[in-house]
């Protein structure tokens, strides 16, 4: 008996060899399809199984040149007409299982990301020189985050994965990931400016007069609400922009638009996922801070399983 990973990155089977041969004939699988045979310890390409070689040889070659960014975005044309079911508990559970079954790989990859972030944060506190590291952090954050997502997606899809994939964003889509990160950050900040102004004026007046009054405090609180609402709305709406750039080979603005349109179908569900992930990270910080090295792989993994639920093609489109 066999199992395969379909083009939608989902597992199918167990099925017989005859069923695999039928799928080959129908063009639903090819030599690159990942396959597992009963008793094996790892997934291998279908082309490595001699029992299917004659049918694979008879297939015409599939020409699949690498698309340029924006020329062939990976999203199917009907994506925005679809609904989706986001199971928050399932996302977290799948992320936990991914960490358990690939602990050294997943823990190590995310730990490298965390160490880089911590080192840059510490160096940024150094007078004068710290400014260089602060600017550098803005430059590398998008590509580095994109690489982490790419790394996790490959592991989730049972594709050959190694620690070096954490840095794939610098090689595959540096400019687009940088723009996707920085533009989202700038627009989110601009959206918060009116609320920040409302909040800042009464605070300035209270500091100037060395007095805390109920009226200005209420205005400051309302300003905070006005600032935080658009930040939350846009930040959650654009949370899948970087995965779309690195995974679907999209340019940053179409990726941001696609992320927002799909998230807005079930914004509160995605918000619920963000809240749950925040609580998981809070528990990690509470565990003497080092727990974040264990909680963050689960959080990132849950986000990528949510990404798969929202943007993957339906199972009916493939074997």
Q: List beta partners, residue 4.
A: 12, 35
Q: Please, are residues 90 and 100 in contact by the beta-carbon 8 Å criterion?
A: no
Closest CA to 27 of 317, 247, 315: 317
With 60 as the cut, is the pLDDT of residue 66 above it?
no
Beta carbons of 206 and 213 less than 8 angstroms apart: yes
Q: Quick count: other Cβ atoms within 10 Å of Cβ 33?
A: 23
pLDDT tens for each residue of 209-266: 887 788 888 998 999 999 999 999 999 999 999 999 999 889 999 999 999 999 999 9
Reported as a single tens digit per residue, the pLDDT across 77-108 is 778 888 888 999 999 999 999 999 999 999 99
Closest CA to 182 of 222, 135, 119: 135
Spatial neighbors of 289 by CB under 8 A, at least 6 apart, are none
Q: Is the pLDDT of residue 65 over 50?
A: no
The predicted-structure confidence for 260-319, as pLDDT tens digits, reads as follows: 999 999 999 999 999 999 999 999 888 777 788 899 999 999 999 999 999 875 543 333
Start-to-end C-alpha separation, the chain: 16
Stronger pLDDT, 49 or 178, i.e. the higher one: 178
């Amino acid at each position: 008996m066999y199992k395969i990973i379909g083009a939608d990155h989902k597992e199918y089977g167990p099925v017989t060899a005859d069923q695999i041969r039928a799928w080959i004939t129908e063009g639903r699988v090819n030599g690159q399809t990942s396959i597992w045979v009963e008793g094996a310890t790892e997934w291998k390409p279908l082309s490595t199984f001699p029992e299917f070689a004659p049918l694979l040889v008879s297939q015409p070659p599939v020409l699949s040149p690498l698309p340029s960014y924006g020329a062939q975005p990976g999203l199917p044309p009907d994506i925005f007409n679809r609904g989706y079911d986001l199971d928050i508990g399932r996302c977290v559970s799948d992320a936990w299982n991914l960490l358990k079954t690939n602990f050294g790989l997943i823990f190590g990859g995310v730990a490298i990301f965390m160490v880089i972030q911590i080192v840059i944060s510490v160096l940024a506190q150094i007078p004068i020189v710290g400014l260089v590291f602060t600017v550098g952090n803005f430059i590398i954050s998008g590509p580095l985050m994109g690489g982490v997502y790419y790394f996790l997606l490959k592991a989730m899809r049972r594709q050959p994965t190694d620690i070096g994939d954490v840095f794939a964003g610098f090689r595959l889509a540096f400019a687009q990931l940088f723009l996707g990160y920085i533009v989202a950050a700038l627009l989110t900040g601009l959206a918060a400016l009116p609320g920040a102004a409302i909040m800042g004026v009464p605070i300035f007046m209270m500091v100037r007069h060395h007095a805390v009054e109920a009226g200005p405090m209420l205005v400051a609180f309302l300003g905070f609400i006005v600032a935080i609402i658009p930040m939350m709305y846009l930040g959650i709406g654009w949370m899948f922009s970087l995965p779309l750039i690195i995974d679907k080979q999209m340019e940053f603005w179409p990726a941001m638009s696609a992320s927002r349109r799909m998230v807005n179908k079930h914004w509160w569900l995605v918000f619920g996922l963000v809240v749950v992930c925040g609580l998981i990270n809070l528990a990690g910080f509470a565990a003497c801070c080092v727990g974040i090295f264990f909680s963050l792989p689960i959080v990132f993994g849950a986000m990528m399983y949510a990404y798969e639920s929202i943007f993957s093609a339906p199972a009916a489109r493939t074997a």
